[in-house]
A and B are shown apart, each in its own frame.
Chain A
């Protein structure tokens, strides 16, 4: 259940950014999570729902874009999708593979509503 630790990090970033931009409500959060992060999207969502309660992100939709693993063969430089953690070059069969995608875990962006002071009637 390291998802709780990850969601704590997420909430800290969201609250900090929300304060910076004068955001009053967050409606959607977009995460990019690589398959090599050992993170379970369902658990992330459940944790997020809990942690977001009482914050600007309460009720926000968490959209998780799972990024597949891609490798580059160090022998023949072929780049390929790594299926089911089998790190074997699709071209030459070599197994010295550098991971070039699938380890990322970051907030891409969020959809926010900020109070637009221009419309406030005098």
Chain B
């Protein structure tokens, strides 16, 4: 064995003797690259068929499904609606929507706290996009994670229910900043919840995004629903023009 011809190199010590070349490899790649590509792909599908896609986000229990049920009834007949529901478990929300005669697909994410573009794309296989004007995607109830994942939507609607506290926008600024429209929901309960101030809630939202449109509404007694429906119809009309 010598140090000259390499006869001292065995499989066991080769890694010690062979020089490792250390270097820096530049990457500059977005960590959500695959999701973003898929989201763009989803959006291209939607746009091809002129579908307006609304991503609805909020904490759990702030009235997303109730809002959708009330919206289905308030939208003019002839407007074709479909719903994708995201939850960790159960078909409950999709069943609630189906009772109103609207096509609903339930995504159960298992352990994932948000919908991503791939999950939504899977669900699209069960949808006839050519027959839809508005697609509502009800994201998993969570005020943090869903804000980070583009799913191919055209706008984000963020709900803040009066039972949650008027400082939620200050506590979860990233979610509220991501919205294109904020809805203060369950306003029928305002007389019973003196801790919630609409003025403070609006100020908290304004501090995060000065030009954020805010609508106060109740899915239960219908107050404010006309404003929400008007906003939706205008958005759908704009989408059709662009398509």
Residues of A within 8 A of B (CB): 1-2, 5-6, 9-10, 12-13, 17, 21, 23-25, 27, 31, 36-39, 85-88, 94-97, 104-116, 118-122
Given contacts A17-B25, A95-B210, contact A85 B177 (CB under 8 A): yes
Contacts of B149 in A (CB 8 A): 2, 5
Q: Does B26 sit at the interface, judged by CB under 8 A?
A: yes
Assembly CA distance A95 to B18 (angstroms): 60
- Stretch in B69-77, B108-116, B191-199 with 4+ CB within 8 Å of A: B108-116
Most buried by A among B9, B116, B148: B148
List, in ascending order, chain A residues with CB within 8 A of B174's CB: 36-38, 85
- How many contacts between A and B, using CB within 8 angstroms? 132
Query: How big is the B interface, by class?
Result: 35 or more
Whether B18 lies near A116 (C-beta < 8 A) is yes
Report yes or no: A86 in contact with B207, Cβ–Cβ below 8 A. Answer: yes
* Given A2-B144, A17-B27, A120-B9, 6 extra CB contacts under 8 A: A5-B112, A86-B208, A95-B207, A107-B27, A110-B25, A121-B5
Contact sample, A vs B, 12 pairs, CB 8 Å cutoff: A1-B111, A2-B114, A9-B34, A13-B27, A87-B210, A95-B206, A95-B209, A97-B209, A106-B29, A106-B30, A112-B23, A112-B24
Q: How far in angstroms is the closest Cβ of chain B from A97?
A: 7
Q: How far is the CA of A27 from the CA of B21 in the complex (A)?
A: 12
Q: Tell me whether B22 is interfacial, beta carbon within 8 Å.
A: yes
User: Per a CB cutoff under 8 Å, which of B6, B28, B113, B173 touches A85?
Assistant: B173
Q: Which residues in A have their C-beta under 8 angstroms from that of B24?
A: 109-112
Quick check: is B78 within 8 A (CB to CB) of the other chain?
no
- Give chain B nearest CB distance to A34 CB in angstroms: 10
Known: A87-B207, A107-B29, A108-B27. A24 touches B148 (CB 8 A): no
Partner of A94, one of B113, B209, B210: B210
Chain B 197-237 per-residue mask, 1 if CB under 8 angstroms from chain A, else 0: 00000000011111100000000000000000000000000
Assuming A85-B173, A96-B211, is B25 touching A23 (CB within 8 A)? yes
Interfacial chain A residues near B8, Cβ < 8 Å: 121
Q: Tell me the bound Cα distance from A120 to B31 in angstroms.
A: 36
Do residues B31 and A31 form an inter-chain contact, with CB atoms below 8 A?
yes
Asked whether, in the complex, the Cβ of B25 is within 8 Å of the Cβ of A12, the reply is: no
CB neighbours (8 Å) of A24 from chain B are 20
Cα A59 to Cα B26 with chains together (Å): 20
Return the contact of A109 from the options B27, B35, B116 (Cβ within 8 A): B27
Q: If the complex has contacts A13-B33, A38-B174, A113-B21, are A87 and B28 also in contact, measured as CB distance less than 8 A?
A: no
